[in-house]
Structure 1
Amino acid sequence: MSCLHLDLAQLQNDLLRARLLSSPHVRLLRSWLILSISPVQSQPLRSNSPGGLLNLVSKRPSAVRLREIQLQTGSFGRAQAAFDLSGPVDPNGRILYRLTGLARTTGTQVDYLEEDRVFIAPSVTFRPDADTSLTILSQYLHIDSPGGGAPQGLPTLGTLYSNSKERIPTRRFIGEPNYDRFKLDQGFIGYAFEHRFNDVWTVRQNLRFSHVEADTQRVQAIGLAANGRTLSRYAWAFPERSNLFNVDNQAEARFLTGPFAHMLLFGADYLREDARYDESELRVVPSVDIFAPAYAGTVTRPPLGTRITQGRNQTGLYAQDEIRFSAFTLTLSGRQDWADAVTRTRTATSGALTQVRQNDAAFTGRVGLSYLFDGGLAPYVSYATSFQPTSGTDRLGSPFAPTTGEQIEAGIKVQPPGTNLLLTGAVFDLTQQNVLTPDSADFRFNTQAGQARVRGVELEAKASLTDSLDLIASYAGMSSKFTKMNANAAGVSIVGNELPFVPRHQAAAWLDYTVRTGTLAGLGLGAGVRCIGTSVGDNANLYRTPVVTLVDAAIRYDFGYRYPALKGVDMAVNAMNLFDKIHVTTCIAATGCFYGNRQTILATLRYRW
Structure 2
Amino acid sequence: MSGPVDPDGRILYRLTGLARTTGTQIDYLEEDRLFIAPSVTFRPDADTSLTLLSQYLKIDSPGGGAPQALPTLGTLYTNPNGRIPTRRFIGEPNYDRFRVEQAFIGYAFEHRFDDVWTVRQNLRFSHVDTDTQRVQAIALGGDGRTLSRYAWAFPERSDLFNIDNQAEARFRTGPFAHTLLFGLDYLREDARYDESQLRIVPSINVFAPVYAGTVTRPPIGTRITQARNQTGLYAQDEIRFGGFTLTLSGRQDWADAVTRTRTVTSGALTQVRQEDAAFTGRVGLSYLFDGGFAPYVSYATSFLPTSGTNRIGSPFAPTTGEQIEAGIKVQPPGTNLLLTGAVFDLTQQNVLTPDSVDFRFNTQAGEARVRGVELEAKASLTENLDLIASYAGMSSEFTRANANAAGVSIVGNELPFVPRHQAAAWLDYTVRTGPLAGFGFGAGVRYIGASVGDNANLYRIPVVTLVDAAIRYDFGYRHPALKGVDLAMNATNLFDKTYVTTCIAATGCYYGNRQTILATLRYRW
Q: TM-score range by the shorter chain?
A: over 0.9
Contact kept, 8 Å, 1:273 with 1:312, in 2: the verdict is yes
**8 Å contact from structure 1 (residues 448, 486) kept in 2:** no
Structure 2 distance, partners of 1:513, 1:607, is 22
CA distance in structure 2 between the partners assigned to 1:379 and 1:430 by the alignment: 19
Partner of 1:596: 512
> TM-score scaled to structure 1, two decimals?
0.86
2:164 to 248, 251, 254: 248
Counterpart check, 1:299 vs 2:234:
no
- Seen in structure 2, the aligned counterparts of structure 1 residues 222 and 547 have a Cα distance that, compared at 3 Å, is same
Which string of whole-angstrom CA distances, capped at 9 and with x for unpartnered residues, describes residues 460-500 of structure 1?
00000111111000000000000000478876200000000
Find the counterpart in structure 2 of residue 283 from structure 1: 199
3-state SS, counterpart of residue 540 of structure 1: coil
Shift of 1:441: 1.2
Matched residue SS, 1:435: strand
1:551 alignment partner in structure 2: 467
User: SS in structure 1 opposite 2:55?
Assistant: strand
2:522 maps to a residue whose letter is R
Deviations 1:41-95 (A, max 9, x none): xxxxxxxxxxxxxxxxxxxxxxxxxxxxxxxxxxxxxxxxxxxx00000000000
Query: Which runs of structure 2 are paired with 1:58-77 in the superposition (5 Å)?
Result: none
Give the corresponding residue for 1:533: 449
Decide whether the 8 Å contact of 1:421 with 1:461 is kept in 2. yes
Q: Tell me, yes or no, if the aligned pair for 2:403 and 2:410 is still in contact at 8 Å.
A: no
Structure 1 segments (4+ residues) deviating >6 Å: 487-490
SS at match of 1:124: strand
1:192 to 104, 108, 117: 108
Deviation, structure 1 residue 123: 0.4
CA distance in 2: counterparts of 1:224 and 1:492, whole angstroms:
25
Secondary structure at the aligned position of 1:156 is classed as coil
Task: Give the root-mean-square deviation of aligned CA atoms.
Answer: 0.8
Other-structure match for 1:32: none
Aligned residues: 525
Structure 1, residues 196-228: CA drift from partner, whole Å, max 9, x if none? Answer: 000000000000011000000000000000000
1:95 alignment partner in structure 2:
11
One-letter amino acid matched to 1:374 = D
Does structure 1 residue 565 correspond to structure 2 residue 481? yes
2:278 equivalent in structure 1: 362
Q: Which amino acid aligns with 1:127?
A: R
User: For 1:213 and 1:428, how far apart are their aligned partners in 2?
Assistant: 38
Give, in angstroms, the shift of residue 289 of structure 1.
0.1
CA deviations on 1:502-534 (whole Å, 9 max, x unpaired) are 000000001111100011100010111000111
Partner Cα separation in structure 1 for residue 36 and residue 404 of structure 2 = 45
Which of 448, 451, 455 pairs up with 2:367? 451
Question: What's the secondary structure of 2:276's corresponding residue?
Answer: strand
User: Structure 2: which 5+ runs fail to align?
Assistant: none
Deviation at 1:439, TM superposition (A): 1.0
Q: Which residue of 2 aligns with 1:140?
A: 56
> Per the alignment, do residues 432 and 361 of structure 1 end up closer, same or farther by CA in structure 2, a change over 3 Å counting?
same
In the other structure, the counterpart of 1:403 is 319
Distance of 1:555 and 1:283 partners within structure 2: 50
Match of 2:438 in 1: 522
After superposition, the Cα gap between the structure-2 partners of 1:483 and 1:228, relative to the gap in structure 1 and judged at 3 Å, is same
Q: 1:129-181 deviations in whole A, cap 9, x for unaligned?
A: 00000001111111000000011100000000010110000000000000000
User: Structure 2 residue aligned with 1:116, among 15, 18, 32?
Assistant: 32
Q: Assess if the C-alpha contact under 8 Å between 2:402 and 2:409 holds in 1.
A: no
Distance across 1 between alignment mates of 2:523 and 2:100: 30
**Counterpart pick for 1:474 among 381, 390, 394:** 390
State the partner residue of 1:38: none
1:373 matched to which residue of 2?
289
**In structure 2, what is the Cα distance between the partners aligned to 1:497 and 1:437?**
13
* 1:560 partner letter: G
Q: Report the TM-score, using the length of structure 2 for normalisation.
A: 0.99
Q: 1:462 is matched by which residue type in structure 2? A: K
1:310 is matched with which residue: 223, 226, 229?
Answer: 226
- Structure-1 separation of matches of 2:187 and 2:300: 22
For the 8 Å contact 1:449–1:489, the answer to whether it is kept is: no
What is the distance in 1 between the residues matched to 2:476 and 2:362?
52
- Work out which of the residue numbers 538, 542, 563 in structure 1 matches 2:458: 542
User: In structure 1, which of residues 347, 353, 358 is the aligned counterpart of residue 263 of structure 2?
Assistant: 347
The answer for the alignment partner of 2:67 in structure 1 is 151
1:390 matched residue in structure 2? 306
Matched-pair contact (CA < 8 Å) for 1:305–1:349:
yes
Q: Match for 1:508 among 400, 424, 434? A: 424
Q: CA separation in 2, counterparts of 1:441 and 1:238?
A: 17
Please, which of 55, 70, 79 is the counterpart of residue 163 of structure 1?
Answer: 79
**Secondary structure class of the residue paired with 1:450:** strand
Corresponding position: 1:336 with 2:255: no
What code does the residue aligned with 2:147 have? L
**Whole-angstrom CA distance in 2 between matches of 1:489 and 1:201:** 59
Distance, in Å, in 1 between the alignment partners of 2:248 and 2:505 is 43
Task: Give structure 1 stretches of 5+ with no counterpart.
Answer: 1-84
| 1:76-121 residue CA offsets vs partner (Å, 9 max, x unmatched) | xxxxxxxxx0000000000000001011111000000000001101
Q: Distance in 1 between matches of 2:407 and 2:33?
A: 42
1:29 is aligned to none
Query: Residue 560 of structure 1 aligns to a residue in which SS?
Result: helix
2:235 aligned residue (319, 343, 347)? 319
Partner residue in 1 for 2:183: 267
Q: Distance in 1 between matches of 2:487 and 2:405?
A: 54
Hey, which of these two has a bigger chunk of strand by percent? 2
Secondary structure of the residue aligned to 1:542 is coil
User: Once the 2 structures are TM-superposed, how far is the Cα of residue 563 of structure 1 from its aligned partner?
Assistant: 1.6
Distance 1:491 1:515 in 2: 64
Match for residue 577 of structure 1? 493
Letter in 2 for 1:401: A
Counterpart CA distance in 2 for 1:471 and 1:278 is 50
Report whether the alignment pairs 1:587 with 2:503.
yes
